[in-house]
Structure formats: C-alpha cells, structure tokens
Amino acid sequence: MLSGRKSLAVAAAVSLSLIDATSLALGYSNVHVEDRWNAEHIGQLPAEVRNGIKRVCSPSSRAEHLFATYFQNSRLIKLHFEHFRCGDQSTFCNKTGCLHQIYISTDGHYRLLRSYYGPRGD
C-alpha cells in the first residue's frame, strides 16, 4: 500500500493529467493560431520590397504565409500576389495568371528585377 505522501502525489498527478485531457477535449490550449491574412508577412520583408508593395497597395495590405518565397540564400525574393490582399481588392489575377514580382539583392539592397503574370503557385 502507498504511504500518505506517495498516494497524495499520485492523486495530484492523476488530477493534472485529467485536467490536461479535459482542456484538450474542450479546445483549450496555449497554442497560438496565426491569422491566415497577416500584415506581418509583409512587415518582415526588406525595406525596399515593402516600399515596392506600398506602390501597389495602401497600408491596409495583408498576406498569407506563401506570399514571399526566398531563393539563393535570400538573394532573390519572389512575391506571389495570389496570396495578397489589398483592402477590398482580393486578387491580383486575370485571365493570363496572377501578378508575380521578383526582387534581387545586389550590394545589400533589393530592387525589382521582374514583374509578370504567371500561373498560380508559379
């Protein structure tokens, strides 16, 4: 038989595990769910790229996680405007595809290399 202290410790451990299981079943957790359309996905880009985006859209722009992709150790940044929202304008796509822009870093500064309409997810 367990001593008084050991049985109290076991009872406490069982109670805590039941509380955790109940919290998970009810949907309570400390896990942060990120907003799909988040202005931070733009705010984390280099200044020259952010300034280029401001020319396309007002400050109310938001983007999904896949808006910007990085290549060649971040030397190239490709923007996918199918993952971008500007105020009430929800898409930058037309019959030929969606707006894509490629920025290149030279001497530590980014500049627009190419802007074109291509397939979604290109």
State pLDDT tens for residues 84-113: 998 767 678 989 899 999 999 999 999 999
- Centre a 10 Å sphere on the Cβ of residue 90 and count the other Cβ atoms it contains: 11
State pLDDT tens for residues 51-68: 999 888 876 789 999 999
Q: What is the pLDDT of residue 120?
A: 83
Q: How confident is the model at residue 27 (pLDDT cuts 50, 70, 90)?
A: low
| Neighbouring residues of 103: CB distance < 8 A, sequence distance ≥ 6 | 46, 48, 49, 52, 76, 77, 78, 79, 110, 111, 112, 113
pTM: 0.69
Domain boundaries, the chain: 1-33, 40-118
Q: Measured between alpha carbons, how far is 108 from 72 in angstroms, rounded to an integer? A: 14
